[in-house]
C-alpha cells in the first residue's frame, strides 16, 4: 500500500492551530499551584453555562460521572426506572444501573439513530422516574416530543450530550431533512442541547467535539436545587468540609483541563460548522450510490460521527476492504447496550437497534478533514460496495 493511512480521527491539526494558546493556559495553571477546582474551573463553568444557555454548569471528572451524578441530583433512586436508548455507548445504561435504577430500553428510529419517542409511552410504569435521551453522533434527539411525554407523566429528562456539545436544537426532525423545524414550539427553538431537559451531561473525552487532553465532564441544569446537589455529590456529598451529608464521589474537573477547555470553547462553533461541511461533502460524493443510506444533515447536527448504513449484509466486508486500503472506518456500535453480556437475558429484543448495529459504519471525521482525502475515502468505499 503506497498511500498514507487515513485514521478515523486526527486530533493533531486542531492542536497545531491552537498550541500557543494551549501552552500558555497550561503554564498559567502550573504556575498558580491550584490544580483541583478553584478559579480556572469556576471560569470555565461560567463560560460553558453562558455558551450553552444554562443557568448552572458543574465540572466533573468524566461524562460517565456527569450522567451518574445528574441522575442522583434529579432524584433517581434505587428501584426507579429510567427510559433510554439501546443504541449508545455503554456509559449511558451503566450510569443508570450504577445508581441502582433499572434502564428500560425503547427502540430507536433508524433515520436518526435516536430514541423513537412514539414508543416511550408504552414503557412508562409507576416506577418510571426519568427519560434519558442520547443525542447520538451529535444529532439532537426528538426533544419536543420527549418533553411533552415527560410533562404529562411528571418525569425528569436528562440529556446525554457526550457527543453533542454545541448542537443547537431546532425541533424534531424524525426521518426528514430538517424542513419540519418550523412546526416546533417556539419556546425550545434554537436551544442548545443540555439546556432543554432538566439536566444535561457532557463528556470532554479527547475525541468528543469539545475535547480535553484527558478526562473531564460537565453537568448543566437550570434548577438551583439540582445544581447544589450535583456540586455536593461531586465532592464527597458536602460543600462544607467535615460536614458530609450524603455519600458522594470524588469527581472534580482538573484545573489544567478546565484551562484547556476554556481556550477551545470559543472555537467550537467553527469546528462544528466544519464538521457539517465535511458531512455535506460526503453526502454529495455518495449521492446515488446504491446499497447505502447516508445521514441527513439535520438542523443542529454537529456530526460527532458521520455514520452510514451499509445494506445487504456487506458492512463487515466493506470495513475490512477500507482497512486493507489504509482507511480507518469504525463501527459505533456493534452491540446494542441491552445485548451486552452484563445484561444478558434481561431484556426483550429491539429490532431496529439490532438491525442498525449490523449496518452502521462511521467514516473518518474531524473538522479539518480535506476534501481530497474524502474523495479517496469515497472512491475506495464505492469499490468496496461493488465487490
Ligand atoms: C463518551 C460517552 C459517554 C461517557 O463519557 P466519558 O467522559 O468517556 O465518561 C457517555 N455517553 C456517550 C453517548 C458517550 O459517547
Kindly report which listed range (45-49, 125-129, 175-179, 383-387) carries the lowest average pLDDT score.
175-179
Give the distance (Å) from ligand 1 centre to CA of residue 64.
6
Q: Which atom of ligand 1 is nearest to the CA of 136?
A: 13
Give the distance (Å) from ligand 1 centre to CA of residue 383.
34
pLDDT in tens, 6-22: 999 999 999 999 999 99
Give the confidence band of 173 by pLDDT, cuts at 50, 70, 90.
low
Report yes or no: 291 and 310 within 8 Å, Cβ to Cβ. Answer: yes
**H/E run at residue 143:** helix 143-153
Domains of the chain, each with CATH number or no CATH: 12-266 (3.40.640.10), 268-386 (3.90.1150.10)
pLDDT in tens, 49-106: 999 999 999 999 999 999 999 999 999 999 999 999 999 999 999 999 999 999 999 9
Residues 6+ apart with CB under 8 A from 152: none
Joined grid coordinates for residue 68 = 451518574
| Cα angle 300, 45, 365; round to 5 | 35
Give the confidence band of 1 by pLDDT, cuts at 50, 70, 90.
very low
Kindly report which listed range (40-49, 186-195, 254-263, 342-351) carries the lowest average pLDDT score.
186-195
**pLDDT the model gives residue 182:** 43
- For 326: left if phi > 0, alpha if psi spans -120 to 50, otherwise beta; the answer is left
Q: Which atom of ligand 1 is nearest to the CA of 203?
A: 7
Q: Judge if the beta carbon of residue 200 lies within 6 A of ligand 1.
A: no
Residue 184 has pLDDT above 80, yes or no: no
Q: Which atom of ligand 1 is nearest to the CA of 163?
A: 15
- Longest Cα separation, the chain: 67
Q: Judge if the beta carbon of residue 377 lies within 6 A of ligand 1.
A: no
Amino acid at each position: 500500500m503506497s498511500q498514507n493511512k487515513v485514521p478515523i480521527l486526527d486530533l493533531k491539526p486542531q492542536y497545531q492551530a491552537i498550541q500557543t494558546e494551549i501552552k500558555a493556559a497550561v503554564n498559567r495553571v502550573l504556575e498558580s499551584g491550584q490544580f483541583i477546582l478553584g478559579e480556572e474551573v469556576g471560569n470555565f463553568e461560567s463560560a460553558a453555562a453562558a455558551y450553552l444557555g444554562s443557568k448552572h454548569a458543574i465540572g466533573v471528572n468524566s461524562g460517565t460521572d456527569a450522567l451518574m451524578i445528574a441522575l442522583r441530583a434529579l432524584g433517581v433512586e434505587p428501584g426507579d426506572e429510567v427510559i433510554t436508548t439501546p443504541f449508545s455507548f455503554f456509559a449511558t445504561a451503566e450510569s443508570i444501573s450504577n445508581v441502582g435504577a433499572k434502564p428500560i430500553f425503547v427502540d430507536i428510529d433508524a433515520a436518526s439513530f435516536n430514541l423513537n419517542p412514539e414508543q416511550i409511552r408504552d414503557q412508562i410504569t409507576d416506577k418510571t422516574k426519568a427519560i434519558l435521551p442520547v443525542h447520538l453522533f451529535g444529532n439532537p434527539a426528538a426533544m419536543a416530543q420527549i418533553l411533552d411525554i415527560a410533562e404529562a407523566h411528571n418525569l425528569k429528562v436528562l440529556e446525554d450530550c457526550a457527543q453533542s456539545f454545541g448542537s443547537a436544537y431546532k425541533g424534531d426532525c424524525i426521518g426528514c431533512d430538517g424542513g419540519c423545524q418550523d412546526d416546533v414550539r417556539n419556546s425550545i427553538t434554537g436551544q442548545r442541547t443540555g439546556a432543554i431537559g432538566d439536566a444535561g451531561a457532557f463528556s470532554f473525552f479527547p475525541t468528543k467535539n469539545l475535547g480535553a487532553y484527558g478526562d473531564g465532564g460537565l453537568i448543566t441544569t437550570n434548577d438551583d436545587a439540582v445544581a447544589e446537589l450535583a456540586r455536593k455529590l461531586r465532592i464527597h456529598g458536602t460543600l462544607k468540609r467535615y460536614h458530609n451529608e450524603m455519600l458522594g464521589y470524588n469527581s472534580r474537573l482538573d484545573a489544567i483541563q478546565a484551562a484547556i477547555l476554556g481556550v477551545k470553547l470559543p472555537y467550537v462553533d467553527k469546528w462544528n460548522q466544519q464538521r457539517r461541511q465535511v458531512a455535506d461533502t460526503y453526502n454529495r460524493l455518495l449521492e446515488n450510490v446504491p446499497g447505502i443510506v447516508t445521514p441527513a444533515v439535520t438542523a443542529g447536527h454537529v456530526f460527532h460521527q458521520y455514520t452510514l448504513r451499509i445494506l445487504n449484509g456487506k458492512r463487515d466486508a466493506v470495513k475490512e476492504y477500507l482497512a486493507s486500503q489504509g482507511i480507518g472506518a469504525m463501527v459505533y456500535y456493534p452491540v446494542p447496550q441491552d445485548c451486552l453480556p452484563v445484561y444478558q437475558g434481561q431484556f426483550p429484543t429491539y429490532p431496529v437497534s439490532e438491525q442498525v448495529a449490523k449496518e452502521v459504519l462511521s467514516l473518518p471525521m474531524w473538522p479539518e478533514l480535506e476534501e481530497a482525502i474524502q474523495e479517496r475515502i469515497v472512491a475506495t468505499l464505492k469499490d468496496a460496495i461493488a465487490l
